[in-house]
């Protein structure tokens, strides 16, 4: 069921691929910052056309990955769990996002361990699905449970191309997810089958264009336009897929979800 959402985004004014901290990034390959801005602007317009609210945080020179707002925090019922990045190239993004939330009137809990926000911590109904294996630590899962007061289900990622949970799993509504089985250990696959027996299983082709890095409001699912098979599976299950081209931002390992942090203020 559709529900109004509030999102935080960061314009990719300073987008660049100047270092490699995931397999998608190649600093020797060309990139087009203006194209990245156009693609991001189109994504933002999709959200506003759907009736959602979009806040913006000012980009900071020297932080080319700040556009990936999903990594900036996890927000549940108005409580903000701040982040601590694994890679020093992104370290200054954490305080920038935490300060934005403080200035906007939110309670912010400082991170005690490495966690990369909604990149690895996704709310699914009453559960927090929490990824680990490449970035976010197990210790951060424990802090997320205490700070956000929701039970945490830890999921182990095994494929470096899907280094964040939000590249391998998408929450579609309170009871439905889509995911790439091969991105997880056998044990985590078994947990996902138990929790979500009606999940949509994505194929390798769709995952290869970051098709699972999608944003759902419970009815509309904004996903990379190149993920055609996944879009059809969504439509077959009653969701409304909306394709957007994020190919330039994908050069840094990001898609629609990476660019979108949900602000959940609670009832």
Q: Please report the beta strands in the chain, taking only residues with DSSP state E, as ranges in sequence order.
A: 6-9, 53-56, 74-76, 79-81, 107-109, 121-124, 127-132, 152-156, 169-173, 176-179, 200-201, 215-216, 220-224, 240-244, 261-262
Which is nearest to 181 in space by CA: 162, 172, 173, 102? Answer: 162
Among candidate residues 10, 164, 170, 259, the one labeled active-site is 164
Q: Please report, rounded to a whole number, the percentage of residues in the chain having pLDDT higher than 70.
A: 99
**Whole-number pLDDT of residue 266:** 76
> Does the pLDDT at position 1 exceed 90?
no
Mean pLDDT of the chain: 97
> Does the pLDDT at position 247 exceed 90?
yes
Q: In what order do the strands lie in the sheet with 240-244?
A: 215-216, 220-224, 240-244
**Whole-number pLDDT of residue 3:** 84
Reply yes or no on whether 258 is catalytic.
yes
The mean pLDDT of 128-153, rounded to a whole number, is 98
In whole angstroms, give the CA distance from residue 51 to residue 4. 7
Pairing of the two strands 169-173 and 152-156: unpaired
Neighbours of 199 (CB within 10 A): 18
**Whole-number pLDDT of residue 78:** 97
The mean pLDDT of 195-224, rounded to a whole number, is 97
Q: Please report, rounded to a whole number, the percentage of residues in the chain having pLDDT higher than 90.
A: 98
**Whole-number pLDDT of residue 194:** 98
Provide DSSP, 104-153. TT-EEEPPSS-B-GGGTEEEETTEEEEEESSSS-HHHHHHHHHHH-S-EE
In whole angstroms, give the CA distance from residue 259 to residue 67. 6
pLDDT tens digits for 56-108?
999 999 999 999 999 999 999 999 999 999 999 999 999 999 999 999 999 99
The mean pLDDT of 111-140, rounded to a whole number, is 98
Q: What CATH number has the domain spanning 6-262?
A: 3.75.10.10
pLDDT tens digits for 168-192?
999 999 999 999 999 999 999 999 9
Reply yes or no on whether 170 is catalytic.
no
pLDDT tens digits for 5-17?
999 999 999 999 9
**Whole-number pLDDT of residue 2:** 67
In whole angstroms, give the CA distance from residue 52 to residue 217. 9
**Whole-number pLDDT of residue 267:** 59
pLDDT tens digits for 254-264?
999 999 999 99
């Amino acid at each position: 069921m559709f529900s109004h959402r509030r999102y935080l985004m960061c314009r990719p004014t300073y987008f660049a691929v100047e270092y490699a901290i995931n397999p998608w990034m190649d600093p020797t390959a060309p990139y087009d910052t203006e194209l990245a801005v156009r693609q991001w602007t189109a994504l933002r317009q999709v959200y506003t056309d759907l009736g959602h609210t979009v806040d913006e945080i000012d980009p900071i020179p020297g932080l080319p990955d700040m556009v990936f707002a999903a990594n900036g925090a996890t927000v549940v019922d108005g409580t903000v769990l701040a982040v601590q990045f694994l890679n020093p190239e992104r370290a200054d993004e954490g305080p920038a996002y935490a300060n934005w939330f403080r200035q906007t009137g939110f309670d912010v809990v400082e991170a005690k361990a490495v966690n990369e926000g909604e990149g690895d911590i996704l709310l699914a109904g009453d559960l927090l699905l929490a990824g680990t294996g490449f970035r976010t630590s197990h210790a951060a899962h424990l802090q997320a449970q205490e700070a956000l007061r929701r039970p945490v289900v830890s999921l182990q990622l095994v494929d470096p191309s899907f280094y964040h949970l939000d590249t391998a799993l998408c929450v579609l509504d309170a009871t439905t997810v889509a995911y790439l089985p091969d991105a997880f250990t056998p044990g985590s696959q078994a947990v996902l089958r138990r929790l979500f027996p009606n999940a949509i299983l994505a194929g390798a082709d769709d995952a290869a264009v970051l098709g699972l890095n999608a944003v759902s409001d419970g009815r509309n699912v904004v996903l990379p336009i190149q993920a055609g098979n996944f879009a059809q599976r969504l439509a077959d299950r009653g969701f409304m897929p909306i394709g957007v081209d994020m190919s330039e931002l994908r050069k840094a390992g990001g898609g629609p979800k990476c660019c979108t942090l949900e602000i959940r203020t609670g009832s």
